[in-house]
């Protein structure tokens, strides 16, 4: 029992510095009159406890929220989330029609080829700033199509 406790204590500092892996982040190119944009990515969690994104920030927007898109009675709507929860030893996919980071109040519509620094704030872990490329929506949707339905 005593050796177990020591082992647990030794592992604590390690997990405190573990980072969430962000895979293939992207933001769709904005139409000229866009008021808000979604940011999409896959968040991977190697820890054996859930990890939460509780807020986000990027320059060039009035405010940033965490959202989930849902269909209700044929109506498309977005529901503000307190956190995006990445399950233990699992991943959370942010994609059109589901979870996303909502960039609201676009100061200058970003174009394909731009890169936006996006800071993700985690509960109990250091924040991470990731570089998110802006891409043409049609291209990305085509690439994602084979991935859907599983
Ligand atoms: Cu949204």
Q: Which residue has the higher pLDDT, 137 or 55?
A: 55
Q: Is residue 1 part of a domain?
A: no
- Distance from Cα 110 to the centre of ligand 1, integer Å: 17
Spatial separation of the C-alpha atoms in residues 108 and 86, rounded to whole Å = 31
Summarize pLDDT for 120-146 with one digit per residue, the tens.
999 999 999 999 999 998 877 777 665
Q: Is residue 7 part of a domain?
A: no
Q: Is residue 52 part of a domain?
A: yes
Q: Is residue 135 part of a domain?
A: yes
Q: Which residue has the higher pLDDT, 137 or 95?
A: 95
The boundaries of the domain holding residue 77 are: 19-143
Q: What is the percentage of the chain residues whose pLDDT exceeds 70?
A: 83
Q: Is residue 83 part of a domain?
A: yes
| Predicted local confidence at residue 149, as pLDDT | 44
- Distance from Cα 95 to the centre of ligand 1, integer Å: 11
- Distance from Cα 14 to the centre of ligand 1, integer Å: 34
Q: Is residue 70 part of a domain?
A: yes
- Distance from Cα 56 to the centre of ligand 1, integer Å: 13
- Distance from Cα 102 to the centre of ligand 1, integer Å: 5
Output the domain CATH number for residue 113: 2.60.40.1890
Spatial separation of the C-alpha atoms in residues 34 and 14, rounded to whole Å = 42
**3-state secondary structure string across the chain:** CHHHHHHHHHHHHHHHHCCCEEEEEEEECCCCCCCEEEEEEEEECCCCCCEEEEEEECCCEEEEEEEEEEEECCEEEEEECCCEEECCCCEEEECCCCEEEEEEEECCCCCCCCEEEEEEEECCEEEEEEEEEEECHHHHHHHHHHHCCC
- As for how many domains the chain has, the answer is 1
Q: Is residue 58 part of a domain?
A: yes
| Predicted local confidence at residue 145, as pLDDT | 64
- Distance from Cα 62 to the centre of ligand 1, integer Å: 14
Q: Is residue 137 part of a domain?
A: yes
- Distance from Cα 114 to the centre of ligand 1, integer Å: 21
């Amino acid at each position: 029992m005593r050796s177990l406790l020591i082992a647990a204590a030794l592992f604590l500092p390690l997990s405190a510095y573990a980072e969430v892996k962000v895979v293939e982040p992207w933001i769709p190119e904005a139409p000229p009159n866009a008021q808000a944009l979604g940011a999409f990515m896959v968040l991977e969690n190697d820890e054996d406890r859930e990890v939460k994104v509780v807020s986000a920030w990027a320059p060039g927007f009035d405010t940033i929220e965490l959202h989930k898109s849902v269909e209700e009675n044929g109506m498309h709507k977005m529901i503000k989330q307190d956190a995006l929860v990445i399950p233990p030893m699992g991943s959370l996919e942010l994609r059109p029609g589901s979870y996303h980071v909502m960039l609201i109040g676009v100061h200058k519509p970003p174009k394909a080829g731009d890169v936006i620094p996006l800071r993700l704030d985690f509960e109990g872990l250091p924040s991470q700033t990731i570089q998110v490329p802006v891409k043409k929506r049609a291209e990305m949707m085509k690439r994602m199509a084979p991935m859907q339905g599983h």
